Chain A
Amino acid sequence: MSVKDEQSKKKVEVRYVARVEGQGAINVKVSSSGSTSAQFAVFEPIRLFEAFLVGRKYNEVHELTSRICGICPIAHQIAALRAVENALRIVVTPQTRALRRLLALGGWIQSHTLSLYFLTAPDYLGFDSAISMASRYEDVVKQGLRLKKLGNDLSEIVGGRAIHPISAVVGGFTKAPAKEELAEIRKRLKKEKEDIWSAVELFSGFNYPEIDRKTELVAISNDEEYAVNEGRLRSSSGIDSPEQDYRIHVQEKEVGYSNTKSSLIKGNDFMVGPLARVSLNNEKLTPDAKKAAKHLGLDLPCYDPFANIKARVVEVVYALDESIRIIDTLKLDFSEQPIQAEVGTPCEGAALTEAPRGLLYHWYKLDRSGVVQKADIVPPTAHNSTSIEASLCALAPKLIEKGQDPTLGCEMLVRAYDPCISCSVHVARVK
């Protein structure tokens, strides 16, 4: 390459992306000829969960995998519990299903509001953090804190603890939540639901960058409800398969510059997360969530990764509605005990769930004593890593052309995916 060509190249380099969970870097190179290359490099250290899970017992898998992520521990717990239960052929009771859904919705509310108010909003309101934003937008920050606390408290009531819950176990719950606590949190859910329209208004008014690039949207779906903890694997390109067939569709490759593996479907990138869910499961949203989507100008189907932000708002509205509905219809049997597992034959099981930031896959192979022989875990950010790079390639030249700061724009793009980088490391299949 000549010196002239070298000079005409433009670069975006972010050594450590702030306001996302974990440690990731962005490297984008735009050449004068118009070709662009992008790397979303995860320098978060490896933790080798799939390796040390081998030799552990079936009833501690969810407890251990919870520690993959401090932001979406609930999604990892439920994916692990369901995968193990599928392996051991345990069918949980409707009460357990309802409580797990409530637990997961609490996780969505806290994770989504953390992302929206504290990681995303500062970009669009012109601040470097929610801390500096608080002086001018105190009410906004306070609403964010209230919603985040509400999500955490909901998870805590159901799961015993918000971060790394303790009462969800193989076969059920060790204890059902107290009625008084549910009644109390229902009041708060109602109150925040009434106030949520100011948030819808706020996030409608932002000037989002746009990326016009079609991609495949992937999420789970089921006929009964807006899929959170269980469903079939579906995509905008026509995939519709049971969860155990996940590996037929999704492949992985290792890339030397990153500790995260890249996921591909038929050799192409795809997108998971709130936008994929809202697009594929739109008809299952509550009327108010649909109303919010309309107000936000979310035209579906939509493939623009920045629209994940709007979809996140829609899902907060949905999660508030759905949590209230579950509490109102729960008929708790306090004598219900977790279903006891019977080990004795080698088995394997897979499960897909929707973590706040998208599709999550767990798979385990157990021996006759119920001890893990192999594990396979693919978190949402590994699913999205190739999509993030493709979107960076689409966005950076556009921003440079317009004379805008490509660095901030690229960071905003990464934040729109709400990546969870700790999760993404150690995504791997055991050979």
Chain B
Amino acid sequence: MMRLDGMTSKTKPRVAVYKFTGCAGCQMELLRLEDELLDIVGKLDFVYFMMVQNREELRYDICFVEGSISTPRELEEIKMIRSQTKTLIALGDCAITGCIPSIRNWFPQSEAEKMVYKDTLPLRSFKTSGIWEYVPVDLMLPGCPPHKEMILEAIKSSLMGIRPDLRMHPVCVECKLRENVCILTSLGKPCMGPVTRAGCGAICPTYGRECEGCYGPMSDANPASLASEFRKLGIGPDDLVRKFRKYAGTSKEFKEVAGI
């Protein structure tokens, strides 16, 4: 998955952080590595990171891309970035599934625009989607936002030239490790944990509430089965659609249940 050539050279790896259509929360999570940041900038050369510095260089060993693609300019730019980058990392849900703003993909675009802007002519937006729909991506870090430990794992493994240890299992595994009471089977709340990828540390169930699915689908998720469990709990068809049409409604795993 990772392309590691160049990583073992003596010069510092050249790193870029780009933001497309999104909220900057993923960059903020990267900057939340406060204890490690000084070490990280000692090991990596950030040659493009507009939120932190005014430096715009090309040729990247690692490029983190936050946000989804939703304008012609972004589409051109992501192609350019791909051509300049050895290891392209999709940082967070927007860059993978379009995340929350992808809810609008279920409406006709012009309808949505007209609801917000009187003059829609200057707008140049199309449906919002993950960067992998346009260019090959080497690594995807899910989450809204992806936990900083996961970002650190990606950085460390890039430096060592090894494959990062990312969790493909569901949130349920983390819940068991934290010895939480099951929100779904014991409390009867519609928890997205069984189909959602781990990585957050099962924070929502730990705080006594159902998982909302902000890390997107786990591997081999079975949303149809979970949806039938939700129906048994009395969740109506509209609420069911809303549950799956949120962070990853347009993903191949969820779109069937989200599209009813």
Binding site for B on A (CB under 8 A): 16, 18-23, 43-52, 54-57, 60, 63-64, 67-71, 73, 114, 118, 122, 128-132, 134, 141-142, 145-146, 148-149, 152, 160-164, 166-167, 169, 174-175, 254, 256-257, 259, 371, 422, 426, 428, 430-431
Contact = CB atoms under 8 A, between A and B. Distances in A.
Nearest to A132: B53
Which residue, of B24, B32, B107, B145, has the highest number of chain A Cβ atoms within 10 A?
B24
A174 B101 contact: no
A67 B208 contact: no
A428 B107 CA distance: 18
For the complex, would chain A's binding face be called helix, strand, loop or mixed by DSSP majority?
A: loop
A170 B195 CA distance: 25
Contact of B53 (A129, A166, A167): A129
11 contacts: A19-B53, A50-B116, A51-B115, A68-B23, A70-B24, A70-B145, A130-B52, A132-B53, A152-B34, A166-B212, A259-B123
Contacts of A148: 31, 34
A22 B19 contact: yes
Contacts of B116: 46, 48, 50-51, 426, 428, 430
Contacts of A161: 200, 203
Contacts of A63: 212
A160 B52 contact: no
Interface in B19-51: 19-29, 31-32, 34-35, 37-38, 41, 46, 50-51
B35 A149 contact: yes
Contact of B70 (A45, A68, A141): A45
Contact of A131 (B25, B46, B119, B206): B46
A422 B51 CA distance: 12
Interface string B52-66: 111110000000000
Contacts of B100: 64, 67
Interface string B147-174: 0000000000000000000000000000
B74 interface: yes
A246 B249 CA distance: 35
B117 A428 contact: yes
A301 B212 CA distance: 46
Contacts of A371: 238
Most chain A C-beta atoms within 10 Å of own C-beta, residue among B34, B70, B122:
B34
Contacts of A130: 52
Contacts of B50: 16, 18-19, 23
Interface in B178-215: 200, 203-204, 206-209, 212, 214
Given A47-B101, A52-B101, A256-B122, A20 B51 contact: yes
Interface string B62-96: 00000000110110000000000000000000000
Given A48-B101, A259-B123, A18 B28 contact: no
Nearest to B27: A70
Contacts of B56: 16
Give the 8 A-B CB pairs with smallest separation, nearest first: A70-B25, A129-B53, A18-B54, A51-B112, A149-B34, A52-B103, A70-B23, A70-B24
Contacts of A152: 32, 34
Nearest to B100: A67
B239 interface: yes
B119 A254 contact: yes
A400 to B, nearest CB: 21
B115 A48 contact: yes
B19 A129 contact: no
A146 B21 CA distance: 30
Given A45-B71, A149-B35, A422 B53 contact: no
Contact of B19 (A23, A54, A68): A23
Contacts, number: 181
Interface string B105-126: 0010001111111110011010
Nearest to A53: B103
**Which residue, of B23, B115, B128, has the highest number of chain A Cβ atoms within 10 A?**
B23
B104 interface: yes
B52 A129 contact: yes
Interface of B: 19-29, 31-32, 34-35, 37-38, 41, 46, 50-56, 70-71, 73-74, 99-101, 103-104, 107, 111-119, 122-123, 125, 128, 144-145, 200, 203-204, 206-209, 212, 214, 238-239, 242, 246
A131 B101 contact: no
A70 B26 contact: yes
Given A18-B50, A161-B203, A166-B204, A45 B38 contact: no
A47 B53 contact: no
A163 B28 contact: yes
A58 B40 CA distance: 42
Contacts of A64: 100, 103, 246
B24 A22 contact: yes
Contacts of B32: 149, 152, 162-163
A132 B50 CA distance: 14
B41 A45 contact: no
Contact of A21 (B24, B37, B208): B24
B207 A160 contact: yes
B24 A160 contact: no
B40 to A, nearest CB: 10
A71 B24 contact: yes
Contacts of B37: 145
Contact of B113 (A48, A55, A73): A48
Nearest to A63: B212
Nearest to A408: B54
A128 B54 contact: yes
A430 B111 CA distance: 12
A422 B20 CA distance: 10
B125 A131 contact: no
A128 B54 CA distance: 6
A44 B20 CA distance: 8
Contacts of A169: 209
